[in-house]
C-alpha cells in the first residue's frame, strides 16, 4: 500500500474518527477522552507505531 504524501507529511491512516460538532462539548467532558487516548495507545503498540 502506498503512503499518502503532502508537502510536510507522510501518512498511512486506516482510522477515521468523527465527533459531531453540535454535541462535542457534552460528549468529551467525562472519561471519553481518556478512553480514546488509551485505545489509540493500544493501537500504536499493536502495530509498532
Successive 10-residue mean pLDDT values, the chain, 49 residues:
84 77 65 87 88
Indicate whether 45 belongs to any domain. yes
Tell me, yes or no, whether 3 lies in a domain.
no
Provide the number of structural domains found in the chain.
1
Domain assignment of residue 27, yes or no = yes
Decide if 6 is inside a domain. Answer: no
Q: In this structure, is residue 10 part of a structural domain? A: no
Total Cβ atoms within 10 A of residue 11: 8
C-alpha dihedral (14, 34, 42, 5), degrees to nearest 10: 30
For residue 49, list its beta bridge partners. Answer: none
25 is a domain residue: yes
Residue 32: which domain range?
A: 15-49
| Residue 42: predicted pLDDT | 94
Instruction: Look at the pTM and tell me if it is higher than 0.85.
Output: no
Amino acid at each position: 500500500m502506498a503512503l499518502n504524501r503532502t508537502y510536510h507529511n507522510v501518512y498511512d491512516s486506516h482510522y477515521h474518527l468523527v465527533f459531531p460538532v453540535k454535541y462535542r462539548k457534552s460528549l468529551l467532558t467525562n472519561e471519553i477522552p481518556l478512553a480514546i487516548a488509551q485505545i489509540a495507545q493500544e493501537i500504536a503498540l499493536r502495530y509498532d507505531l
